[in-house]
């Protein structure tokens, strides 16, 4: 059903039934082949509009820029420009949506990349270090960090969560001072992944699930440079947080900058 809704969304824009700038459904075709909106009065070439929408649709499917350029028959750089603009917009949107989490929050770090498999987990060399917070029944927030020291992690926790929340972590020492901000429950991975508390299950399966989701999604791009990794990471965060939405419509709104009505 979601795929059908996305196809209908794409068709409504391609046929000019909906304005990509404001979302209103009254527009007309000008003499020079542009689609112009009755409300916002903005206009765009139908040829260019169709090309950009097809590229956005390919981005939604996590298709590489090179393959998209080949399939659509347009220059690679033109596809890359659309992809880059989308990822920059996604970063801004993720920061706006983040706010401060509350309730039950799972915390964990993950390690991405590296030319060789080598050592896994903390202490692994050549990998990008990411810290994540996941609000149960809510959204996830990620941040690329230089290290997993107490000072760095606690600063992010203070800025991205409300005091008095319930925190779930592993037994990493950088989390030891969390009890100052709220209830703190830990799970020891070497023995068990889930243990029963008095009234709740103590686990970090939610944030672990996001790491798996992100790594699987990044695999589609067959390698991401360390300099561009934060862009791709936020893309995974956005996809996860909007996994139940019509993602194509969300991406079109981000790219063209309109608010749905």
Domain boundaries along the sequence of the chain: 2-97+244-256, 103-241
What average pLDDT does this structure show over 54-78?
94
Whole-angstrom Cα distance, residue 173 to residue 192?
Answer: 18
In this prediction, residue 22 has a pLDDT band, given cuts at 50, 70 and 90, of confident
Q: For 103-241, CATH number? A: 3.30.420.10
The pLDDT of residue 224 is 86
Q: How far does CA 20 lie from the centroid of its chain?
A: 22
The per-residue pLDDT for 261 is: 40
Could you tell me which residues come within 8 angstroms of residue 100 by beta carbon, excluding any fewer than 6 positions away? 159, 160, 161, 162
Only one residue has tokens 């000008």, namely 30
Its sign, for the CA torsion 244, 203, 184, 109, is: negative
Higher-pLDDT residue of 212, 23: 212
CA angle 202, 204, 207 (to 5 degrees): 155
Considering only residues 140 and 258, tell me which one the structure prediction assigns the higher pLDDT: 140
Give dist(CA 108, CA 153) in Å, integer: 10
Q: What is the mean pLDDT of residues 27-47?
A: 76
pLDDT of residue 5 exceeding 80, the answer is no
Burial class (CB in 10 A: 0-12, 13-18, 19+), 249: buried
What pLDDT sits at residue 133? 97
Q: Which residue has the higher pLDDT, 192 or 243?
A: 243
157 vs 256, residue with greater confidence: 157
Q: What are the backbone dihedrals phi and psi of residue 136, each rounded to the nearest 5 degrees, phi first?
A: -55, 135
Mean pLDDT score, 170-196? 80
Distance CA 168, CA 162 (A): 14
pLDDT, average across residues 74-85: 95
Q: What is the rounded distance in angstroms from the CA atom of residue 227 to the CA atom of residue 199?
A: 44
Does residue 118 register a pLDDT over 70? Answer: no
Mapped onto helix, strand or coil, the DSSP state of residue 217 is helix
Q: What is the pTM of this model?
A: 0.83
Q: For residue 45, count CB atoms less than 10 angstroms from its CB and return exposed for 0-12, middle for 13-18, buried for 19 or more.
A: middle
Look-up: residue for tokens 């950088």?
Answer: 174
2 pLDDT higher than 50 = no
pLDDT at 203: 85
Whether the pLDDT of residue 187 is over 90: the answer is no
Instruction: Report how far Cα 176 is from the mean position of its chain's Cα atoms.
Output: 29
> Mean pLDDT over residues 189-209, rounded?
70
Question: Residue 48's pLDDT is what?
Answer: 83
For the chain, percent of residues with pLDDT exceeding 90: 51
Start-to-end CA span in the chain (Å): 22
């Amino acid at each position: 059903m979601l795929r059908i809704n996305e196809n209908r969304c794409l068709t409504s824009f391609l046929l000019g039934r909906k304005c990509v700038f404001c979302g209103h459904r009254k527009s007309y075709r000008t003499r020079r082949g542009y689609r112009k909106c009755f409300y916002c009065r903005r206009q765009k070439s139908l040829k260019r509009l169709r090309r950009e929408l097809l590229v956005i649709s390919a981005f939604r499917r996590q298709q590489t820029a090179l393959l998209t350029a080949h399939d659509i028959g347009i220059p690679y750089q033109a596809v890359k420009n659309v992809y880059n603009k989308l990822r920059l917009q996604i970063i801004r949107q993720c920061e706006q949506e983040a706010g401060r989490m509350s309730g039950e929050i799972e915390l964990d770090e993950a390690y991405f990349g590296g030319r060789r498999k080598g050592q896994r987990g903390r202490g692994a060399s050549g990998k990008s270090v990411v810290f994540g917070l996941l609000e149960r029944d809510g959204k996830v927030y990620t941040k690329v960090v230089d290290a997993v020291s107490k000072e760095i992690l606690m600063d992010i926790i203070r800025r991205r969560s409300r005091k008095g929340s319930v925190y779930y972590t592993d037994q990493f020492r950088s989390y030891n001072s969390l009890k100052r901000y709220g209830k703190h429950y830990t799970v020891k991975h070497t023995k068990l992944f889930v243990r029963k508390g008095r009234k709740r299950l103590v686990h970090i399966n939610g944030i672990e699930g996001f790491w798996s989701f992100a790594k699987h999604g990044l695999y589609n791009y067959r390698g991401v440079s360390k300099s561009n990794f934060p862009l791709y990471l936020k893309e995974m965060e956005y996809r996860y947080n909007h996994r139940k939405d019509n993602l194509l419509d969300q991406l079109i709104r981000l790219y063209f900058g309109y608010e749905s009505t």
